[in-house]
Every structure is written in structure tokens, then in C-alpha cells.
Homo-oligomer: A and B are copies of this chain.
Amino acid sequence: MAKVQEIHHNGVNLSTQRGFVTKLKSGFKEALFPDDPFRQIMEEEKKSRRLIKGVQYFIPIFEWLPNYSLRLFFSDLIAGLTIASLAIPQGISYAKLANLPPLIGLYSSFVPPLVYAVFGSSRHMAVGTIAAASLLIASIVSTVADPIAEPTLYLHLIFTTTFITGVFQACLGFFRLGILVDFFSHSTITGFMGGTAVILILQQFKGIFGMKHFSTKTNVVAVLEGIFSNRHEIRWETTVLGIIFLVFLQFTRHLRLKKPKLFWVSAIAPITCVVVGGVFTYLVKGTQHGIQIVGHLDKGLNPISIQFLTFDRRYLSTVMKAGLISGVLSLAEGIAIGRSFSVTANTPHDGNKEMIAFGLMNLFGSFTSCYLTSGPFSKTAVNYNAGCKSAMTNVVQAVIMALTLQFLAPLFSNTPLVALSAIIVSAMLGLINYTEAIHLFKVDKFDFIICMSAFLGVAFLSMDIGLMLSVGLGVLRGLLYLARPPACKLGKLPDSGLYRDVEQYSNASTIPGVLIIQVGSPIYFSNSTYLKERILRYIKSEQSSSGDMVEHVILVLTAVSSIDTTAIEGLLETQKILEMKGIQMALVNPRLEVMEKLIASKFVEKVGKESFYLNLEDAVLACQYSLRTSKPNNNEDTV
């Protein structure tokens, strides 16, 4: 379609219509490329420069490595050593959460950080396993394979889950579908984290009390029942040790909050617990007093696991479910964490690149005996505080982990389980963000409900149900908005002559005989009947409150950025109903997309272009003029 010459009436552009391809392109760009990623590549004039820029865009290491210096490396070395010291106990503990051999947790801190260092866009992200996703995967996969009865099958299914997560995340990034991650709201994540923390803490009572039998379910009631029914197994030796570790860890956390410079104390506290606990257990022969230990650990780097990926029909749907849910969840969390640190430090961060990086690290992870990794909050915060400068910290972490695996692994076999439990409890206590929940309650009751549904759903039903319930409520909120986008009545402010919501500005006064309604956006099938009823109700209440007959209804369309054909039919219907009541309808400032459709559907022809105004003031003056001329005797004094 060629662009015709602009035709204006009352200043309204009644002609500009974009061609179909233009509209499609613009819609496509807004939906999938809102950050316009290729602009900087396309701006280069030389082809060779473009190629370099393109490679640098897709593989960020080529962007920062050429400018990397020894001074930066020194900072990264310190930070890398710190996060590696955290990675060992976290790797072992979270692997236990996922019912996996402890070595898998250590393997997961070797390959994925290396992959992230190449593809990741954030400078602060520290890659590692995460508690919530570990538990989530375990709770889903263990429905089809028992981790104790069929450990090999279970392990292979976990690798397959990781593979699916990787492919899924990389595809999301490649096809720029970050739009999916957008539907995990901050409220959902807060609630989900809190709920997960509660059940994780309760589960750790097994380790802290030194119990041997426990509930395999992950909801509060089942876990409490499990503790209660096995209470004869509680060992005081382990319990005392657990409480000591916990008090120590919590003390270092508070120290960090009070004196941020001493962050390293809390950072090395977990590895201290592991080392001290291991030495202590060895010295007092703790295993004879009921203190359970990690047990035998092999030396050696990650074995290849690509041959273990199983796409058996019997398990495929479960594995897919676990992979997709944990994939979206770990992305939503990881991206949010990365973004918040990059905002604080004013460093680059690109959601779509992160998705590709996360995807590739899980993909390669699934080939090398790793399970799901992401950017855990605690590790990333430590990394940031330790003064990391680039993704090189992840390389340092990986190298240390490789040395550990190659030479030191057997030393960790003496680690008491109670130390790991204390580490998890201490980490989880920081994730119950009750101040955020209170904040949500104060600011937005619906967000509070979304948050609490995730929290309670996770705590009392199951992790996946809680998560989906909360996301579902978020979508429901959106649909409710679509069904009832708020309209408001405008009045004139005394001094400025501006028209504003009469409910918001009590000094705004209405104009006798003229009703001004600002319509909410969008007008779609889902609210076209509502809009009609709302307008009629405004007319009724206007007439019964002021006693004036409404003779003009002005619909301010400034806010309406989108309309569909059902809604256009509805507007026509409204206009007909108003006409029968002797009321004129005027439309003010329709926006581009709306105007295009009103023209294409012949709405403008049917209603008449004289009903359109660019400016509300003009519309009001026209209405007042028409009132005066139609009833000179009645209205002269009121206008």
C-alpha cells in the first residue's frame, strides 16, 4: 500500500496508513527484538569490521579478552578463589538435595563455569548449582525413577533433563523468546524462593538430627510427619554439632551485614565448616557415634556422559516437564540476579545472550556429568563483593575445582552430613524475604496474593504446582485487566484548563451536558461489551447526580494503543445506542494503530469524520457550542 497524502480534519490525521509489511515488521521487532541488538553491528561500514562485531556480539569473550590486563586478573583471581571455596560445600550439599552422588555437584562447578566465561554477558555472575532447582528436578524425576532403588536410571534421567534444559534455554535465547521469562513476576519468584527455603530447611532436620529415615515428599506436612514418626532416630551428638555450625554460619552472615568489608569471613565460613567438621569427625571417630559422612569420593575430572542421555518414551514426558520448568525457573532467577548486579555496577547485561550462555553451559554440562547450573544468588553476591572484574572469575573457579577433583576429592569424603545441612539451612534463611512480602502487601494486594500462592503452594502442595499456580494467577491478573481496563471521567481543573480524572483531582469540575470519558487500553473483544455498559452507566449516574441531561459523550482515546474488530463493532453499537438516546458521540485523539483500523473498517465513514478531534479542548468547545445553539434559553447562563 502506498502512503497516501495526509488528510486532516479537526487536526486529526485521517489518512496515514502504514503498509502491511511495515506493521508486521514493527510488531515483530517490538515482540522479539525490543533492544535492537544488531544496530551496532549494522552501523559498521566495513564488512570485515561487521564480521568482527558480529562474532563479538555472539561470543562476548572476544569483546572483553583483548582488553584484559594483569591488574584485572589479580582482582578476578581473589574473587575466583573465594567462590571456589563456596562451590565445594555447595556443590556437595545441593547434589544431595537432588539425590545425586556428591561428585556430580563438584563436576557441575567445573565445565559450566568455563562455558559461561566464553558466552556470558555479565561480569558478576558466578556459575553453580542452585538449591531450589535441585529440589525441583529431584521431586519431578523421582516420580518415575527411584533414586535409591534405580540410581543409574535416575542419574541418566537427570543428565537428560539437563540436556533438555540446555536445548530449551539456548533456543529461547536464539529465537529471542525472553518474552516467556517475562511472565515470571518478581512476586512469583519471591514467594517461590521463600516456600522452597522453608521446605529445604525442614528437610535439613534429617541431617542435623542425624536421622536415617525420612519423608521423600517435599511438602511441610509430609516433612514434619517424617521427623515426628522417626523421632527415635535423633542423635544428640549430631544435633549439637549441627547447632554449633549453624550458629557460626549465622554469626558470619550477620558480621557481613554489619561490616560489608568482612564479606570474606562469611564467604569462607562454609568451607571452614566442612574442613573443621571433617577433621573433627576423623579425630573423634564420629562415624561410631552416629555422625554420618559423605563417604567415598573418586579422584578425577568429569567423565563423559553423552552416551547416558535416554529418550525412552516411558520417561520422556516427565523429563521434558522437569527440564522445561527448571529451565524457565533458573533462567528467570539467574537473569534477574545478573541484571540487578549489572544495574548496581553499571556494567553490561543482555537477557537474550544470558539465555544462550545458560543454555550452552547446561548442554555441555549434560555431556560431561553435570546437572542443572545457573547463577545462584549467594555465589554471585560473594563474587561481586570480592571485587570480580570479568567472567574470568568463573575460569579461576573451574581451575580450582579441577585441581580439587584431580587431587583433593578423597579428602572431602570425611565431611559430616550435618555440616552440609547447616550450610544449606544458613543459606536458605537468607532467602525467606518476609520484608518483601510485607512490602507487597502494602503496595499491591494482588501481587501479595501471587507471592503467597507460590509460597504456600510450594510449602504445602508441591514445588511445580505452587509455581504454576502463581504464574497462572499472574496471567489471570493480566486477563482481568484485559477484560476490564479502567476508564475514568475527566473534569476541567480550575486554573490550568487541563482535563483530569475527577476522582483523582477533587477540584476538577464537569461540564454540564457534556460527559468526558478517558477510555482504558486496549479495547479488545474481551472488554468491548464492558466498555459499552460502562459508558451507559456513566451517563446514568451523571444524569442522576447532576440532574443535567447528557447530550454529548466525548471518548478520549489518547490512552488506547490497540483495538480489534470486535471492539470496533462494539463502538459502533455504542454510537447507535447513544444516537437513539439523542446523545452525540465524539472521539478525541485516536492513535496510529487505532486510526488505521477505524479507517479500514469504515468506522470513520459511518460515524462521520466531524466526530473526530485531535484536542479535547476543541471537542468540548464544539459540544458547548452545539448545546448553546440547540437550546438558547436554557443553557445560556450555565455555559
Contact = CB atoms under 8 A, between A and B. Distances in A.
A22 B65 CA distance: 58
A68 B496 CA distance: 55
A311 interface: no
A183 B525 contact: yes
Given A187-B565, A577-B343, A477 B524 contact: yes
Contacts of A560: 559
A48 interface: no
Contacts of A96: none
Main secondary structure of the interface of A (DSSP, over half): helix
A196 B29 CA distance: 36
A36 interface: yes
Interface string A162-202: 00000000000000001100111111100000000000000
A381 to B, nearest CB: 17
A183 B36 contact: no
Contacts of A577: 343, 346
Contacts of A20: 445
A447 B566 contact: yes
A444 B564 contact: yes
Interface string A510-548: 000000000011101111111001101100110010000
A438 to B, nearest CB: 12
A474 to B, nearest CB: 6
B183 A526 contact: yes
Interface stretch (A357-365, A409-417, A591-599): A591-599
Total identical chains: 2
Given A36-B537, A525-B182, A496 B614 contact: yes
A564 B527 CA distance: 21
A522 B481 contact: yes
Interface in A542-563: 544, 558-562
Nearest to A506: B6
A577 B347 CA distance: 10
A442 interface: yes
Given A442-B600, A485-B522, A501-B592, 15 more contacts: A11-B496, A20-B445, A36-B541, A39-B540, A185-B566, A186-B565, A186-B566, A187-B566, A339-B573, A343-B576, A440-B565, A443-B568, A444-B597, A474-B526, A498-B615
Interface of A: 6, 11, 13, 16, 20, 24, 30-31, 34-36, 39, 43, 178-179, 182-188, 339-340, 343, 346, 351, 439-440, 442-447, 474-475, 477-486, 488, 493, 496, 498, 500-501, 503-506, 520-522, 524-530, 533-534, 536-537, 540-541, 544, 558-562, 564-566, 568-569, 573, 576-577, 580, 589, 591-593, 595, 597, 600-601, 614-615
